[in-house]
Each structure stands twice: as C-alpha cells, then as structure tokens.
A and B are shown apart, each in its own frame.
Chain A
Amino acid sequence: MTLSVFFMGGLAGLLLGLDRTAAGQFMLARPVVAGPLTGWLVGDPLVGLQVGALVELLWLGRLPVGAAIPPDDTQVAVAGTVLAVAAGHYYALEGMLLILLSVLVAMPLGKIGQIFDRLARSRNSRLVRQAEADVTAGRTAALERRHLRGLIHFAAAALGTYVLIVVPGWLVVRFAGERLLPALDGMDGWLLLAFPLVGTATLLGTINVSRSLTLFAASFTTVLLLLWLL
C-alpha cells in the first residue's frame, strides 16, 4: 500500500514538475493545486488540500524572474502529501499533526532539492550548442528534437527532487515520528497559523505596493473586529 502511494506520488511529481517551467505552465504545479491532485491520486485529496494550503503562500512572493529559481514548492507539496498519507497508513492515525510533521520535514529537504533544477538548466546549455552545430551543418530538422530533449532534463530534476524529499523524509517520519508527534501535539493550532502568517509577511515585503501595510492593517482589523462582533 505504502509503496504504491510513493510510486503514484512520483508520477504526480514528475508530471506536475514539468508544468512548473518546461511545459504548459497552467499553474497545476502550484501547491494549492498540486497538493489536492496528488492527494486524489494517492487516495486522500483533503490531506493534499491541507498540505497545499500550508505551502502555497510560503514562496509565492519568490518570482521566477530572469535566472532566479524559487524553491521547489511543487515537490514540497507533492512529497508532503505523500508523506502525510503514508504516515497515516503507518501510524493508523489521521489529522493535522501528521500533515504538519510531513510539511515540516519536506520543507528543508525541498530547499536542498533545488540543486536538481539548477543541474537541468545547466545541462540544457549543451542543447543550444548542439542545435547551433546542427544549423551550421544544415540539419535544421534536428532542432525540434534538441529542444524537446530539455523536457527529459526537467522531468529528471522533478523526480530527483521528489526522491530527495521522500526517501529521507520517510525515514524521519517513520523512525522519529513517535517522538516528534507528541512534541507537536498541543501546538498544531499555532503552527497552522504560523505558515500563512510567515507567507503573508514575506509576500507583503515583496509585493511592491505603496501603502501595502496600511491596506493590510485596515483589512486585517476590519475583518477581525467584524468576525468578533458577529
């Protein structure tokens, strides 16, 4: 059962990873979509939705501008969902604690996984040089093949990041979970709030809107007081 969850997660990671940069860019790779989609594939879309919701805001302010590569929140959402579902099977538990533990484990590993994305993009430089040689030699028909070979590099990078998160992540969840879960118990409400607040704070810092703090403060206070009065 757990093996099939990891396998389906790998498939989701590969396909959604391609949407991130190389193909389509329909935003299927955003955590709020990738999480529930992976969850649906492994049998629990609601777990995926909760993982996606936690991860979505965190790196939303990091834009893929120029040569900048934001952290791979797609694989964090996919692997986080897989870990949460697999841990649910293993511990015969369900609930927010497993989701929080999975996301907390997946986040730092996802940061390390960026290395694969860099490798894929470096490897693609060769394709351009090979295409130049093709054109010089009059082999213009080879152009499409060269270009589409980049998809393999990006797919391999997505899978590499997924494996890098899931394998050590599963070892942590399985062998340290029994100690970590009781430690997180009781603070899950606060942690659930910490994720969107940290994401919001970072987004406000990068969104480049004059008076963003004024707008945020007015909206925050109005809604808080209104909900309190209701």
Chain B
Amino acid sequence: MKAGTARRKLPFRVLARMLGRSFFLQASWSFERMQSLGALYVLAPALRFLYRGQDLEEAFRRHLVYFNTHPYMAPPLLGAVTALEEEQAQGADCAISAVEFRDMVMAPLAAIGDALFWGGLRPLAAVIALFFAFKGSLLAPLVFLVLFNLPHLWFRCAGLWRGYSRGLRLVETLQRLRLPDWALRAKEATVVLLGGLCAYLTLVCLKQEEIAAGWGLLFFPLVVLLGWLARKGVSNLLLILATLAVLLLAGLIV
C-alpha cells in the first residue's frame, strides 16, 4: 500500500478525546523533555486504538522523547502524526515515519505559533481590550477573551482534524494559510493601536495635571528612551521603580 492512500479509520470519539486532552498538553512540562509526556498523553487514545500488546509499548516508547512546539500548533501536528501512525499500523509504505515527521516539523511550527499567537494575536487583543479597561468598562476581559480565543480554538479544533485528514500534506495546508504574514499584520496593527492608546493616556494625564496638551509630544522621545533602556537589559520593574524615585524627588523639590 502506498503512503497517503491508507483509509482513515479512527472513530470520531478517539479524535474528540485527543482534542480534549490537547488542552492539557503542558500539564507535565519539564525543562528536560518539555512537552514529551504531554504529546504522548494526547496521542495515547489513538495509539491504544491502533496497537495492542508489545506494539503498543513500542509505540509509547518511540513517542516518549523530547517534544516541543507551540501548544496551539500541537493539535494539527499530532493529528498528522496520528495519520502517519495509522498508515504504519496498516502496513503502508511510508516515505517518512511519524517520529521523523514530528521531529522535522515541530520546531518550524513552534516558531510560527510563537510569532502568530504570542507575538501577534495576544498583544493585539490585549491592546484593544486595554482601551475598554482604561475607560473603566468591564467588557475589557470579555473583548480580550473573544478576540483571542476565536482564532485559538478554531486552530486547535480544525487543526487536529486537518492534521489527521491531510497527514504529510499538512505542511502544504499550513503554507497556504501564510501564517507568518498574518503575524506581521497583527504586530503592525498592535504598534499603531499602542500609539493611539499612549496618546490618549498622555492627554488624560496632562489634563489632570492642568498642563497644555502640546507638551504631550515630548512623551514620544520618552517612550523611545525607555525602549532603548529595556533593550539594553534594564528590567521593567527597575524602570517603574526608577520612575517612582524620580517622581518622589520631583515632589520633594517642587
């Protein structure tokens, strides 16, 4: 039998269990093997369906090795790994084993997921929610959760199914989605919104202190200076405490 031609036979309930378990992927995250045990925990229902006895032990052993990817990218990847395991169990002539595929793809998927979800979507959703928060609206947490979790949950649920149904061709599917481009757009939108948020907060502060709004333009170089210090390794905590010290000193002088 040729690879990719094997029929997908896993029942829906097994895939549903895998999806449910994927929300606990990082429960045993460790420095040594990272998500190793978690990935096996997600795969276990499928492996138990596909193998018995010694074969099952062997399958468990080959998946109990180092594994690390972005938690939201793990369902599509583990779906594809399941498809390859199924082909191997059916005796298909696979060009690449499930373990080899997993080892090749996990790092690129981790990089895409980090940029898209942690670097792009999360700051974007947070900055939009902060507009609500600084206006005192309790809708802020809801706005954040909806904006972030709609794409997140879609990616997890549809991702597992697509990974399982596409197998090796998951890589083509992900390439077509152009996820790094989406990450970049989300980051650019975040920067623009941050500019607006900072300007609004600056104006509110100046009004409260009865200072002319034009002085607000000076806060841009201040942000650049703070950013430069942060890039040089000065921690946020230190920057906040230094600001507090400067304000206390200014209070003493004035």
Contacts and interface: CB of A to CB of B under 8 A. Distances in A.
Whether A associates with B in a native complex is yes
B194 A203 contact: yes
A199 B236 contact: yes
Given A32-B129, A131-B37, A143-B40, A217 B220 contact: yes
Interface string A155-192: 00000000000000000000000000001001101111
Majority SS at the chain B contact face: helix
Best-surrounded residue of B129, B198, B247 (most CB of chain A within 10 A): B198
Contacts of B37: 127-128, 131, 143, 146-147, 150
Contact of A196 (B40, B198, B241): B198
Contacts of B136: 46, 49
B39 to A, nearest CB: 10
Contacts of A194: 240, 243-244, 247
Nearest to A120: B29
A128 B195 contact: no
A83 B33 CA distance: 37
Interface residues of B, number: 95
A30 B148 CA distance: 11
B175 interface: no
Chain A: interface residue count, which band? 35 or more
Contacts of B209: 189-190
A200 B134 CA distance: 15
Main SS at interface, chain A: helix
Interface stretch (A4-12, A53-61, A87-95): A53-61
Contacts of B239: 198, 201
Nearest to A127: B28
Contact of B223 (A32, A63, A65, A201): A201
A115 interface: no
A33 B138 CA distance: 10
A199 B241 CA distance: 13
A28 B208 CA distance: 33
A202 B123 CA distance: 12
B28 A147 contact: yes
A57 B71 CA distance: 22
B237 to A, nearest CB: 6
Interface of A: 21-28, 30, 32-33, 36-37, 45-46, 49-50, 52-53, 56-61, 63-67, 104, 107-108, 111, 121-122, 124-125, 127-128, 131-132, 135-136, 138, 140, 143-144, 146-151, 154, 183, 186-187, 189-205, 207-209, 212-213, 215-224, 227-228
21 contacts: A22-B26, A53-B134, A58-B240, A59-B236, A64-B118, A121-B29, A121-B30, A124-B28, A128-B33, A128-B37, A128-B64, A193-B201, A194-B244, A196-B201, A200-B223, A201-B225, A212-B188, A220-B219, A223-B200, A228-B213, A228-B214
Interface of B: 23-24, 26-34, 36-38, 40-41, 44, 48, 56-57, 60-61, 64, 68, 71-72, 110, 114, 118-119, 122-123, 125-127, 129-130, 133-134, 136, 138, 140-141, 144-145, 148-149, 152, 184, 187-188, 190-203, 205, 208-209, 213-214, 216-217, 219-220, 222-231, 236-237, 239-241, 243-244, 247-248, 250-251
Given A198-B236, A227-B213, 15 more contacts: A22-B27, A22-B29, A33-B141, A66-B68, A125-B32, A131-B64, A143-B37, A150-B29, A196-B130, A200-B194, A205-B227, A209-B191, A212-B187, A215-B192, A217-B220
